[in-house]
């Protein structure tokens, strides 16, 4: 069965004051998809963890990072991108075990240090929430 995927992209500066914009955006997307309130809160927390880490690291090369929300009938897939190629494995230093544990516990699928063009991938399946 082929399903159509909608993509929503948001580009943000490396500034803490815009993390709330991402939280509101993902909350609206997840609500529209039919996730329950607990799942929506889980997604918001996981996305905030990544955004806060990106803001803390920042970039001396580019002023922004991008988040792509891919919406399908089965899941919400979230990819984080940055054109600064030095920002790759942001949770790979071992200092953020709590953040990694939190993200992994709240999301169904997580790829923290991929060998792709994105920084982090996370996904939450919709069928668990109906």
In whole angstroms, give the CA distance from residue 45 to residue 40.
9
The CATH code of the domain that includes 118 is 3.30.565.10
What count of other Cβ atoms lies within 10 Å of the Cβ of residue 57?
14
CB-based contacts of 2: which residues, under 8 Å, 6+ apart? Answer: none
Q: Is residue 11 part of a domain?
A: yes
| Residue 71 domain boundaries | 6-129
Instruction: Give the position of tokens 């996370």.
Output: 122
Give just the sign of the alpha carbon dihedral 40, 41, 42, 44. Answer: positive
86-115 confidence digits (pLDDT tens): 888 887 666 677 888 899 999 999 998 877
Q: Quick check: is 71 in a domain? A: yes
Q: Looking at the domain assignment, is residue 98 inside a domain?
A: yes
| CA–CA distances in Å: residue 123 to residues 12, 43, 63 | 20, 9, 26
The pTM of the full predicted model, rounded to 2 decimals, is: 0.89
- What pLDDT, on a 0 to 100 scale, did the predictor assign at position 1? 39
**What is the rounded distance in angstroms from the CA atom of residue 22 to the CA atom of residue 27?**
8
pLDDT-derived band at 46 (thresholds 50, 70, 90) equals very high
For residue range 67-94, what is the model confidence (pLDDT) as tens digits? 999 999 999 999 999 998 888 888 766 6
Q: How high is the pLDDT of residue 106?
A: 94
Structural domains of the chain, count: 1
pLDDT-derived band at 116 (thresholds 50, 70, 90) equals confident
1 located within any domain: no
Please compute the mean of the pLDDT values over residues 35-42 and round it to a whole number.
96
For residue 129, is pLDDT > 60? no
């Amino acid at each position: 069965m082929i399903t159509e995927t909608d993509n929503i992209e948001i580009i943000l500066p490396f500034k803490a004051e815009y993390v709330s914009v991402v939280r509101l955006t993902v909350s609206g997307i997840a609500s529209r998809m039919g996730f329950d309130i607990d799942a929506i809160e889980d997604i918001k927390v996981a996305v905030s963890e990544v955004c806060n880490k990106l803001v803390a690291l920042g970039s001396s090369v580019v002023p922004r990072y991008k988040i792509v929300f891919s919406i399908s009938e089965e899941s919400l897939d979230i990819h984080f991108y940055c054109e600064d190629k030095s920002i790759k494995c942001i949770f790979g230093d071992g200092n953020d075990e709590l953040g990694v544990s939190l993200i992994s516990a709240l999301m169904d699928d997580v790829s923290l240090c991929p060998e792709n063009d994105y920084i982090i991938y996370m996904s939450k399946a919709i069928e668990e929430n109906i």
